[in-house]
Each structure stands twice: as C-alpha cells, then as structure tokens.
A and B are shown apart, each in its own frame.
Chain A
Amino acid sequence: MAVTTSDTHVPGASVFDRLEALLPFVSKPIQYVGGELNAVQKPWDSVDVHWALMYPDAYEVGAPNQGVQILYEVINERADALAERTYAVWPDLEKLMREHQVPQFTVDSHRALGDFDVVGMSFSTELGYTNMLTAIDLAGVPVLAAERDDSHPIVVAGGHAAFNPETIAEFVDAAVMGDGEEAVLLITDIVRDWKNEGCPEGRVGLLRRLALTGVIYVPRFYDVEYLEDGRIKRIVPNEADIPWRVRKFTLMDLDSWPYPKAPLVPLAETVHERMSVEIFRGCTRGCRFCQAGMITRPVRERSITGIAEMVDNGLCKTGYEEVGLLSLSSADHTEIAEIAKGLADRYQGTETALSLPSTRVDAFNIDLANELSRNGRRSGLTFAPEGGSERMRKVINKQVTEEDLIRTVSAAYGAGWRQVKLYFMVGLPTETDEDVMQVAELAREVIKAGRAASGRRDIRCTVSIGGFVPKPHTPFQWAGQLNHEATDARLHKLRDAIRADREYGKSIGLRYHDGKPGIVEGLLSRGDRRVGRVILQAWRDGARFDGWSEHFSFDRWMNAAAVALADEPVDVDWFTTRERQQSEVLPWGHLDSGLDADWLWEDWQDSLSEVGVEDCRWTPCFDCGVCDQMETEIQVGPTGVVTLPMPTVRTTAVLAEIDA
C-alpha cells in the first residue's frame, strides 16, 4: 500500500534527507528525529503487515503515552509485523512540509505514513481529531475514508474517545473499543491473511473481514437514519451478516501482559519524565461523571510480584529515576500497602523515587504517601473531592464527606506536606451557584485545619477546577451540559469569594479555565456523524492542536458549526446543553461497552435523587452488566505474597579491578 509524493519513492524508504533540510528552521527539532532508547527499527520487506501508530498530539505529550508504547511492543514482537510511531507536527513544520512536499513521517525510520498498511490512531481525547486530519492529509491520503482506494492505509481509531467514533466516522475506516493488545494482534492476523491471499475484493473486502469479527466497528457498514426533529431514528447494518452491535475488547490476566517491557526513553523533554507501571486496569468506584471508570470495567489487578518485576526491569532498561504506579485510583489496589512498603524498602538509599498519582481521600492515602516519600521532598499531595458540596458529591457518587477531607488534609499537613491540591468540577448535573461556592468554604476549612495541624501559616491549598463535559457510556450521557456563559459566571463568583477572604484567601490558589473549550469537547464527545462535517470545516479553517489554549479558537469552531449544520435541524446547543430522554437513540447505542443501558439509566435517576452506589470491588455486584455481557470477572488480590522478589542480580561492569 504505497502512496508516494514523488515518482521515485520506494515504499518504506526513509524521507529523512528531505526532512533534515527543514529541521534547522523549526522549534525543538529533536522531537522529529527519533533515536529514542529502546526504539525498534525493522527492515520494511521483512514483514507482512506495517503499522503506523499515531498519538495525535505533539511529541512531548504523545511519546510518553503508555497505550502507544504497549501496542508498539506487542506488534514489534511479532515476526510478521512492524510498528513505527508518528506524532502531530507543529504548524511551523507543517508549513514547511507542505512547501517542500515532505509527507507525514514516522520518527523511528522516517517512513512516509502513506506507505503503511494500517494507521492506528490513539485518542485519549476528542481534541486530537483535527491533528488526525492534518497527519492524514500530509501523508497524501484523502481525509474522507470514502475517497480512499486500495493504495491507501486503513485508518483505525482506538482509545477512550473511540467509544463514540461517530463524529469521526467519515475519516476513519474502523474503530476499536477497549484494551488494544489483543485488538492489534487480531487486526494484524486479518490484514496479513488478506494480503497473502492477494487482497481479495480490495479495501472493502478487508474492511468487511474486520467488521464480521463483531469486535471491530467499520462505520461504512452502518447507516444512520434520522427523525424529522433531528434525533436519530435508528442505526442499522447495511449488509447481511454485519453484526448489529460491536463489542469492546477486555484483556484478562494483566500479569501475562507485562508491557511495556522496554519503555521508550525520549531524548526530547516530555510531559512525563518518568517510567510508569500500570498496577491495575479498570475502576469500580462508580463516579458517575467518569468515562474511564465506566468503560474500563471490570477491575483487573496486576499482582504484587508482577508489579515488582516490571519496576525492576523497567528501571534497568531505561535509567529513569522515578517510577509512577499508574491506574485510575492506585490506592485502591488490594495490596497497595505491601507494594508501597516493599518498593520503598527495596529502593531505600538509592536515588529512585516512587510516585502514586492518587485521588483517594482518606488517612490511608497519607500513610502511603509518607511511605513513598521516605527519602524525598514532601511538596504537594493531590485529592479530588470533585464536588464542592455534600449534596453534589452524592449526585456524582463521589463518596467523600467534609470530615473525611479535613481529617485527611490535617494528617497530610501534620506529616510535613506543605501544599495540598484539590480537584473540582463545575457544571455538574443539578448544580447551583451555592454548590460551587462551597468549594471556597471547603478550601477555607482545609487551610484552617492545615494551620492547626502544622503550626505554620505558610501552608497552601490550590484549588483546580474544570468544566464538566458529559461523556458517552456514563450515567451522565443523558445530561444537559452547562453552557459556557453560566460556567464562567460560576467560576468568577468563586474566584471573587476566595479573593475577598482576608483570613485565608492568600493561602488559597485557584486554577481554572474558561468554559468554551468544554463546549467543543462536548460537541465532539456526544455528537453523531453530522458533527464530522463540523470537524472537517473547522480543520479547513485552520483548527490544529485544539487541546492547546494558544491554538484553540472557539469562534472558529462555532463558525464552522454554523456553516456545516446550516441545513440540519440541529446545532451546537442541541448536541451539548440539551438533556436527552431515555427513549432517544444515542449515536453510540450500537456500540457495546458492556454496561447495561437500563442500569446506566437507573444510575442516572439515582443520581438525580442523590442516592449513592458502593464500589463493587468490596461489596456485592450491582449488575452494571459488564461481567455478564463480556464474560469477564473482577480480578483482585490478596495473593498473600508480601515480600517482593529480589531484583535481578547485576554486576557493575565499570568498577576498577581493585574494587570489583
């Protein structure tokens, strides 16, 4: 599958010579040259299936992404496939690439994106959609899937945003929901067999094979019919045998998938200068706003020994001096105390730092944080009460009381932590101004308790508050989003209240963003295929890097929506601020995240009645549907193992003989 920008281009050949001439003129050229430690380069003709994996944001954000690194290794371990990586180029390089006809390239071997068989797009957020279009276009591939031919790669979307791929249905050939490891292996098998059989029925033949699996969504085989008022009437397969519903992938037994085994170590500075080990996948806390917690069920823990081996191996292979223990709520691992103590003991006296990004609000969390910071500085701890008032926290099912929070921060300040960060959201369902003003009250109480516990006045509390965006496959998928004017008004009122406080105000920092980007995110999150036209228009009008405030333009998006939806009975408000009814066909209704639609609706109703639901990791099942429908189960400890295996025995080869 070769698209070439010049007659002499050989598929898989490097375009680095042509790129190199442009690099002296762009900022941070190192991000485009590759050469990371543990990167893999394979000869083009040595394999059947060529994958390009794209994280559609700048290299500094994309390179540390765990999902891409995992799939990169899983594919490259196969003898019959290779995977290379590509990232969004900044506008300075994009302009030069267009002038000099240099195609979108991979950073590993600088191969042209159009040469690959499959382009995998990893969408953590919808704000990467326009960057996808830039990359496809720079590759010389038509941005509309319908205009591609047999010489073009197939574009496959994955990541959390792919749980509603309808807004990008015109641009991608396929989408995969859920864990990617087994998905890329399956796609590789299918593409290899199809190529080895001589590509029967061309591109459509391949896409049909993917669709028939029932776990890969191919939008072209589904028609969307609309009602007169603009709502969706139904979404139906347009060929016999194409399944009505498409299921997500769920990887079981994380210990057998210890990826990445050799994490990439970029030369360029990135947003995460550390190694990460995923300690479990999934979360069952049941926070109603949280798409990640809903779509990654059930909980699957990595064992204490599996974690210890990954930490040791990763440090050896990378030379990083910090390890992050990642998951959606790391302190919830059933053996986290043993893990923290074991790792802290093992790396005591070394310069290796351990971190646990965690938002759990209880004293246990402080013990953990103290354990992990034995050697280091106690600068800041982060908690996420999410809702300012007790009532709001019941609506979103974040089961934290004000007493919990005050007890926890007192313990933190008492143990020597100087700063506490608190995360909140504004614009949650049923929220009033009063609920948001409670954030200021809470922050005051935190400072008061902190001063008492530490005996100092120089402790600080930073409040970080973001606009809530309702997401598909959550109980809030039916909710109306708060418009950006109201969001901004509540934020300003909160800001003024904190500023006006003479006793505590100076100890409280407030960080917030205006409500406009959230509206665009909301449009892209819960939109349907008609929103694809808005994306295309905005991109043609210059939208790039929409997750970056210096590149984002709300007016450009609103103008694009006005043009693209001019002939439709729907508009931006219809997609964002409108509340949906239970009977409405949702654009992602045919995509199966495992969650039972009736359970989601009941949970939405419980939310409105301020009724909570416990974490099923510790309590009986609440029938969310995932384990039944996906034939999966919760995989948690305890394993009873408390001592970590010894690290790999290594010999230090650099010492002089007298000491060795």
Chain B
Amino acid sequence: MSRKPPERDVALAVQKLRVHYAKRGRLRFSSHRDFQRALERALRRAEVPMAYSAGFSPHPKISYANSAPTGVASEAEYVEIGVTKQCDPERMRIALDDALPAGLDVVDVVTAATPDFVNRLEASRWCFELPGVDVSTAQAAADAFLGHSEVIVERLMKNGIRKFDTREAVLSLTVSGESGVSGSQGSGAGDSYAILEVVTRHVTPSVRPDDLLAALRIAAHLVPPVPPRVTRLAQGPLIPGSTEIGDPFAPDRAALVSTN
C-alpha cells in the first residue's frame, strides 16, 4: 500500500513581500545556504505566516535572487517571500530584523506589486578595499584593465573549467583611496589603502568579485598583499544613459501609490 502525502491546508500565498537585506561584518562569511537556513528559522521565530508548497516535504515559498558569494559583504541582497495572510511590510521588517542574527540586517520590505523582480536586478556596484595597495598602483591597474577590449579569466564550474570575458561586463571602474590610513586587516599591509568601485552588468556567466580580481592580476599584474575586503553596495536596474543603479523597489512603491 502506498501512502499519499497527508491532506493539509495548503493555504495559498495571498501576498508576496520583497525583502532588501544586508550581509555585514563577520557574517559576510556565511554562504547562500547558511543564509537560507537562518532566514527560514527567523521567519518562524517572527511568526511570519509563510506559504508552503504541497507534498511530503513542504518547503516555504521563498525566492532568492542572485546572492553575493561567500566572503563578500553586501548592502543590497534581495528575497521574495509568499505569505498566507496580509502582512504589514514595516512590521515585518522590524520583526524579521529582530529575529535574524546581527550582521544579517533587514533594510527594507515592500509588498510585491509588479512582476519580474529578478530581471530588474540588471547590475551591481562593488567596492574593493585593498589595504597595502597604493592609489597610483591601483589606478594604473584600472587603466590597464579598461584599456583592453577583452580580459579572459578561468573559473571552475560544475562542468569543468570555463573561460570567459570579464571586460565587457564592467561598465565603470574608479579608484580612490587615502594614504597614511592604516589598513584594517593588520599592520603588515603598510599604510597605503586603495579603494576600487566597479559597476558590473549581470551577464551569463556572471562576473563575480573573484573574477574581477583575477582579471586585474592577468591584465595589470595587480596582486594585493592581503585579501581585499569586498562589498556589494547596490544592485538594481541601470538608469538609462548612465552607469548609476536605481532602486529596484521603485516600481512596487509607485504601483502601490497609484492603487491607493
């Protein structure tokens, strides 16, 4: 005799909420799977009425958008959560932030009022802090990289090593920094401290921070003496005619205002 999945009330999602969160400090070392577990537990602690899939092992209805790699901090991560009862976005933001460990911080929550959210995440702005690298060296490397029409890197993927271009995805690359400021990662790095800001378009395969560092090593022999600290500063739609990134929640806010 075979057992059927138990009859249960599979309450449908009546509302979807989009959550903007940050991954900060030591929790930047959490992986995507680590975050998934932490979020699901936090949702239960916060008593968010999650919608579940049907079947023998029901899963909460949560969609994850392209998350930052393990080790990379982020100010701009997004998930979408289906709920079975109408929730207030601001109350949800407070309750969820409270239930998540410090370092996984909820920045904003909106009710999803528009489709195709993931496609709206067209580009990211990354910040690379390079202790021990001086500004002029970093500038020279940036210039060298931008001077190429193509910079090929290799990455180990599921089906072997793949080669791909990094140059075309880079929309802008700027260098700043301060001299005489101590690096935060130990005294061995010296006083120089360069900061790169890079805007990348989301392409397939995606160009990730590690790929950019590999590209700078290949194209411009830039080898930081200590591991750079990388942060995703923003993620969202490209503002036409610029390399600026817009607020991905703007269409949802606008739609809500018009229905009210």
Contacts and interface: CB of A to CB of B under 8 A. Distances in A.
Interface of A: 16-18, 20-21, 23-25, 28-30, 32-37, 265, 267-269, 273, 315-321, 349, 351, 374-378, 416, 454-456, 650, 652-659
Nearest to B34: A267
Given A29-B71, A652-B49, A653-B47, A16 B26 contact: yes
Given A655-B85, A656-B86, A25 B227 contact: yes
A655 B86 contact: yes
Contacts of B163: none
A351 B41 contact: no
Contacts of B95: 653-654
Interface string B20-60: 00000011011101110110111111111100100011100
Contacts of A454: 1
A320 B41 contact: yes
Interface residues of B, number: 50
A532 to B, nearest CB: 37
A268 to B, nearest CB: 6
Nearest to A454: B1
B91 A267 contact: no
B241 interface: no
Contact of B27 (A267, A378, A456): A267
B88 A316 contact: no
A330 B171 CA distance: 62
Nearest to B3: A416
A17 B70 contact: no
A317 B47 CA distance: 11
Given A273-B37, A321-B44, A654-B87, A35 B26 contact: yes
Contacts of B49: 652, 654-655
Contacts of B86: 655-656, 658-659
A24 to B, nearest CB: 4
A30 B1 contact: no
B198 interface: no
Nearest to B46: A654
Given A17-B185, A36-B101, A319-B41, A654 B92 contact: yes
A318 B41 contact: yes
Nearest to A24: B227
24 contacts: A16-B26, A21-B186, A21-B226, A23-B29, A25-B227, A32-B29, A35-B103, A37-B41, A37-B101, A318-B41, A319-B40, A319-B45, A320-B44, A321-B41, A321-B44, A349-B9, A377-B56, A378-B3, A416-B1, A652-B49, A653-B46, A653-B94, A654-B49, A654-B87
Interface of B: 1-3, 6, 8-9, 26-27, 29-31, 33-35, 37-38, 40-49, 52, 56-58, 70-71, 85-88, 91-92, 94-96, 99, 101-103, 184-186, 226-227
A349 B8 contact: yes
A16 B103 CA distance: 15
A16 B226 CA distance: 15
A377 B86 CA distance: 30
A35 B85 contact: no
Given A21-B186, A319-B42, A267 B6 contact: no
Contact of A657 (B56, B88, B227): B88
A319 B44 contact: yes
Contacts of A376: 6, 56
B58 A654 contact: no
Contact of A35 (B2, B44, B102): B102
Nearest to B87: A654
Contacts of B41: 37, 265, 318-321
A571 B17 CA distance: 67
Given A17-B186, A454-B1, A654-B46, A269 B33 contact: yes
Contact of A351 (B1, B33, B52): B52
A30 B58 contact: no
Given A35-B101, A321-B44, A375 B26 contact: no
Given A654-B95, A659-B85, A23 B71 contact: yes
B152 to A, nearest CB: 23
Contacts of B9: 349
A618 B203 CA distance: 69
Contacts of A652: 47, 49
Which 9 pairs between the two chains have the least Cβ-Cβ distance?
A319-B41, A319-B45, A319-B44, A33-B26, A29-B29, A24-B227, A656-B86, A656-B88, A652-B47
Nearest to B41: A319
A321 B52 CA distance: 13
Nearest to A319: B41
B241 to A, nearest CB: 37
A37 B37 CA distance: 12
Nearest to B43: A319
Contact of A455 (B1, B52, B56): B1
Given A268-B30, A416-B1, 17 more contacts: A17-B185, A21-B186, A21-B226, A21-B227, A24-B227, A29-B29, A30-B29, A32-B29, A267-B27, A267-B34, A319-B99, A376-B56, A455-B1, A652-B49, A656-B87, A656-B91, A658-B86
Nearest to B229: A20
Contact of A30 (B30, B44, B96, B185): B30
Nearest to B47: A652
A652 B45 CA distance: 10
Nearest to A110: B26
A18 B88 CA distance: 43
A114 to B, nearest CB: 20
